[in-house]
């Protein structure tokens, strides 16, 4: 057998090996990106100042009107509101874009995301008079959270 006869076979084998190597590298890069992103999300979610703001929104806020909320809680309340809802808006964007797997992230934060949405929905609707697109990605996350929570409870 001459070299010219086996050259196409050698080339084909080299291409297959290269393709496998590239596929493995891409999978590893995606996994590394996923780990980095979710670690950062969990770090933010577990920070005491974030958790304090989140629990304040869930348990202590009684206003159903954005204007009433602002009048009572001022810039500090608005800051806590935007910090917590903005976090979930970012999570919603990452899930929607497929950067973060919804099942993995929602095992940890799904219940609180849903609780925050349920509590702040009237405030968000009021705040949207100033910004129509406010927290749209968070809103897209809510049905996913609800579906996940129902699935976990067997319903």
Query: For the chain, what are the domain ranges?
Result: 47-152
Per-residue pLDDT of the chain (155 residues; tens, 9 = 90+): 676 777 777 777 777 777 777 777 777 677 787 888 888 999 999 999 999 999 999 999 999 999 999 999 999 999 999 999 999 999 999 999 988 888 888 888 999 999 999 999 999 999 999 899 999 999 999 999 988 888 764 44
Angle (nearest 5°) at CA 55 between 54 and 59: 125
Structure confidence at residue 154 (pLDDT)? 44
CA-to-CA dists, residue 142 to 6, 40, 73, 85, 95, angstroms: 59, 21, 25, 12, 11
Tell me the pTM: 0.78
Residue 115 has which token pair?
């609780």
Three-state DSSP class for residue 152: helix
Q: Find the length of the chain.
A: 155
């Amino acid at each position: 057998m001459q070299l010219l006869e086996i050259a196409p076979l050698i080339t084909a084998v080299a291409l297959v090996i290269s393709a496998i190597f590239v596929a493995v590298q891409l999978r590893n890069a995606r996994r590394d990106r996923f780990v980095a992103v979710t670690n950062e999300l969990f770090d933010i979610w577990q920070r005491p100042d974030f958790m304090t703001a989140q629990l304040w929104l869930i348990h202590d806020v009684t206003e159903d009107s954005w204007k009433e909320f602002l009048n009572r809680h001022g810039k500090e309340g608005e800051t806590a509101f935007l910090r917590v809802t903005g976090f979930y808006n970012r999570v919603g964007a990452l899930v929607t874009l497929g950067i973060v797997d919804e099942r993995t992230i929602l095992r940890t934060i799904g219940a609180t995301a849903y609780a925050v949405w349920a509590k702040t929905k009237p405030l968000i609707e009021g705040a949207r008079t100033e910004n129509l697109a406010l927290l749209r990605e968070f809103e897209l996350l809510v049905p996913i959270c609800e579906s996940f929570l129902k699935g976990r409870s067997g319903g």
